Structure 1
Amino acid sequence: MSADDDRPAAEELAARLKHSARLASVGKLASSAAHEINQPLNVIRMAAFNLRRVIEKGTLDAESALKKLERIDTQIARAARLVGGMKAFSPTGADTTTNINPTEALVTALELMAKRFTGADIELIYSADETTDNSTEDSSKGTSEEANKTIEASPSAFQELIVNLLDNAIEAYGEAPQRNPLLEDEGLPPRWIKVVETAQARELTITIEDAAGGVTPKIAHQAFQPFITTAEDGSHAGLGLTVCASIAASMGGAVTLARTELGSKATVSLPLTESF
């Protein structure tokens, strides 16, 4: 059998492995997403209950009713955004490429992961530092261009990339410590993940940094190869970062992993569209 004959089988295996990694991410994300979606649904139910009660009592106030309806509309939009974010893990989720606002997609991914952060006793720190290269363009255009920055990508694939990197940072901490609610300061090591988004010149950069101790230089160098994992119990196949690298490459970008003083930092670099 020639090497060419082995190629289709190898490609099929790679596709199956990526699909398995996606399914593993779904399992971890499901409870967090359900919790976040339930929140707006509970707000909607309470607002609708209050409206019904005042109508039955004949004490409906138009201004108050409009405020409650606005609140319902806001929560519906939030629930729809979260459900849309879950499409990242559908079988056809990564097929359609278009110009998207990366900030909106990033914030949705962070919302979907909110329960994972609280469950792991990890503080999320997010900031967006937007600058433009004004050497060749009128600086008065900077504000509007920053607001309209886009990348060419599948919204679902971009969110899958971010969710996988966030999950990798969360897993680096291990299980959450048992805290004593009676003590304000137990001297426990910090548990945080810092997400920084920067748009400069023609490039979007997103860094995801943790304080979980970091990985060895050897692991950092091999991190994006298949089956590289620090999990000794076999609970992780070591495919998450491989999938991340593949997604970033399909968008014309790259992902790197480096050791920091306190932990590790993953850096995603993606080209911005020409309209930026």
Structure 2
Amino acid sequence: MSADHEEEKILLVDDNPTNLQVLLQTLSGRGYKLLIAKNGDNALNIVHKVRPALVLLDIMMPGIDGYEVCKRLKDDPTTSGVTVIFLSALDDTRDKVRGLETGAVDYIAKPFQAEEVIARVETHLKIHRLEQALARRNRQLEAENEHILESMREGIVGINGHGKITFANPAASRITGWEAAELIGADAHGLLMPRSADGAIRPREETALYTTLSENIIQTVEDDVFWRRDETSFPVDYSCTPFMRDGEADGAVIVFRDITEKKRHQDALQDALDELQEQKDKLMHMSRLSSMGEMASGFAHEVNQPLTAINNYAQVCQRLMQRDPINMESLRDGLEKIGVQARRAGDIIARIRSFVKKPDHCLQVVDCNRLVQDVVKLAEVDARHNGMEIHLDLAEGLPAIKVDPVQIQQVALNLVRNGMEAMRDMPEKDVGLWVSTERQDREFVRVSVIDRGYGLADDADHQLFTPFYTTKDDGMGIGLSVCHSIIQTHGGVLNFIRNPEGGTTFWFTVPVAEL
């Protein structure tokens, strides 16, 4: 006999000793522990003490009959799981039906055949084992589910079709401050979500729960508010999922999470990002000021030329005014030339002021070619100082771009000045520096700065855009790093290629404006 059968107890109940003897002989030696009771009272006592797996129960007995014994066993939760098979000489169909109605699982008529008893006993014991195993597994699953629900950080509440709470896990009570008994039966809308964050009454029809209950669809809501027992609100992410029974919606399950800590971390992160952006802005501004400082002597010379011309024309005008009669035509011409030179000086200063001003991160829709031309005007002073020319190769029909123009000018000017510096002591500097624009693809415009300088070091590929990497004796190594950050912020790419004929092409992409 297998280990599954060992020590399984069978209670034999009959007031006839001969019948008991026959049953003992039939079932002995089959791995069961056989117990005997001669009347109903005795049978009930034994069942309560030893909990047999199966009872073979006679019906016609003095005192309490088999029907009553079976009924009492099934009415008692502690013994209701015991399997009962009636053994009786009563062969009427009504007797069999009555026996089954009291809770028995089978009915064997007397006189019985040994093989029939053995077969039915083994069959029902097998069913009993399966039922016991299933019951144990159900209890295990219930315990596991309860443990899971208790250990979950998310609050879970079950809602019936009328919006009433039918279930709440411990986390729901812990988060909201309501006891589970207070939540059960309460209106979910009135208890958890009656008002919005500003305290305004929230119409029931505008809630995700109402949509889920009325339309049977899953709703996911981020950064909303629920309300606690003490009338304080807290931020939540939550979902409403319809609960289906027999193919029809029968309520919903709300799973919610208190995101107070998450929002606190988000706010702290945003503060850190804002601080980082502020420092990046300062660094970009310092980089532009540094560029202007390096170009200061050239700009001073450039501004000095129109100022000298203005002074000379002013002296001429004074002499003309001392003549009698005054030559008004010559005086008018001199004053016009003073105005032209003043505007020339003003344009130079305006370009410098526009370039070095602190940015306000204003994205604008601008003409890429015009932006490059303005950069070249700034760099022409340096180009003349270095004895070289800047050539433009601007594509026609380029779409407008959406950028921060001051920042993109900073990138372009940095690349142009680096290119001129790389060519300054090279015989190829007479070729000059080339700046080109082209449409890269549907989403980006590409700007390239091509020099014929001394080229880049072998280790530049992986370090060129990292902070404080420089090949200049007096450089800080922040220029290209700042440029790289600016282009990344715009969603573009800054990179370079080594020219086969010598020198380097630096290029960057900027996004096309959505028109």
TM-score by length of 2: 0.41
Q: Which amino acid aligns with 2:465?
A: F
Corresponding position of 2:437: 197
Corresponding position of 1:106: 372
Corresponding position of 1:151: 401
CA displacement at 1:267 relative to structure 2:
1.2
1:208 touches 1:267 (CA, 8 Å); kept in 2?
A: yes
The more displaced of 192-201 and 264-273 is: 192-201
CA distance in 1 between counterparts of 2:362 and 2:510 reads 17
CA distance in 2 between counterparts of 1:220 and 1:263 reads 15
Give CA-to-partner distance per residue, 1:164-196, whole Å, 9 cap, x none. Answer: 11221123235x48xxxxxxxxxx444521122
Higher relative contact order (CA 8 A, sep 6+): 1
Corresponding position of 2:310: 44
1:88 touches 1:94 (CA, 8 Å); kept in 2?
A: no
* 2:477 counterpart of 1:268: no
Inter-CA distance 271–157: structure 2 relative to 1 (3 Å threshold):
same
CA distance in 2 between counterparts of 1:255 and 1:160 reads 13
CA distance in 2 between counterparts of 1:52 and 1:93 reads 44
* 2:327 counterpart of 1:60: yes
CA displacement at 1:209 relative to structure 2:
1.0
Matches within 5 A, 1:25-36: 25-36=291-302
Give CA-to-partner distance per residue, 1:233-258, whole Å, 9 cap, x none. Answer: 3x112111111122223334332211
CA displacement at 1:219 relative to structure 2:
0.7
Q: Which amino acid aligns with 1:225?
A: T
Q: Which amino acid aligns with 2:487?
A: A
Corresponding position of 1:127: 393
Corresponding position of 1:222: 463
Of 322, 328, 353, the residue aligned with 1:87 is 353
CA distance in 2 between counterparts of 1:69 and 1:251 reads 46
Q: Which amino acid aligns with 1:119?
A: H
**SS where residue 236 of structure 1 aligns?**
coil
Inter-CA distance 46–250: structure 2 relative to 1 (3 Å threshold):
farther
* 2:358 counterpart of 1:118: no
Corresponding position of 2:342: 76
Q: Which amino acid aligns with 1:257?
A: F
Corresponding position of 1:206: 447
| Rg larger in structure | 2
Corresponding position of 1:145: none
Give CA-to-partner distance per residue, 1:19-52, whole Å, 9 cap, x none. Answer: 5434432321222222222233333333333333
Structure 2 spans left out of the alignment, 5+ residues: 1-267
Q: Which amino acid aligns with 2:327?
A: L
CA distance in 2 between counterparts of 1:76 and 1:96 reads 30
**SS where residue 392 of structure 2 aligns?**
strand
1:109 touches 1:163 (CA, 8 Å); kept in 2?
A: yes
**SS where residue 465 of structure 2 aligns?**
coil
CA distance in 1 between counterparts of 2:333 and 2:443 reads 42
Inter-CA distance 220–131: structure 2 relative to 1 (3 Å threshold):
farther
Inter-CA distance 72–173: structure 2 relative to 1 (3 Å threshold):
same
**SS where residue 110 of structure 1 aligns?**
helix
1:113 touches 1:163 (CA, 8 Å); kept in 2?
A: yes
TM-score by length of 1: 0.70
Inter-CA distance 272–85: structure 2 relative to 1 (3 Å threshold):
farther
**SS where residue 237 of structure 1 aligns?**
coil
CA distance in 2 between counterparts of 1:199 and 1:84 reads 30
* 2:476 counterpart of 1:237: yes
**SS where residue 316 of structure 2 aligns?**
helix
Inter-CA distance 73–91: structure 2 relative to 1 (3 Å threshold):
closer
- Taking only aligned residues, the RMSD between alpha carbons, in angstroms, comes to 3.4
Corresponding position of 1:254: 493
1:88 touches 1:157 (CA, 8 Å); kept in 2?
A: no
Q: Which amino acid aligns with 1:60?
A: N
CA distance in 2 between counterparts of 1:203 and 1:73 reads 41
1:203 touches 1:272 (CA, 8 Å); kept in 2?
A: yes
Comparing both structures, which one devotes a greater share of its residues to strand? 2
Q: Which amino acid aligns with 2:488?
A: A
**SS where residue 130 of structure 1 aligns?**
coil
Inter-CA distance 41–77: structure 2 relative to 1 (3 Å threshold):
same
2:368 touches 2:400 (CA, 8 Å); kept in 1?
A: yes
Q: Which amino acid aligns with 2:310?
A: I
1:36 touches 1:114 (CA, 8 Å); kept in 2?
A: no
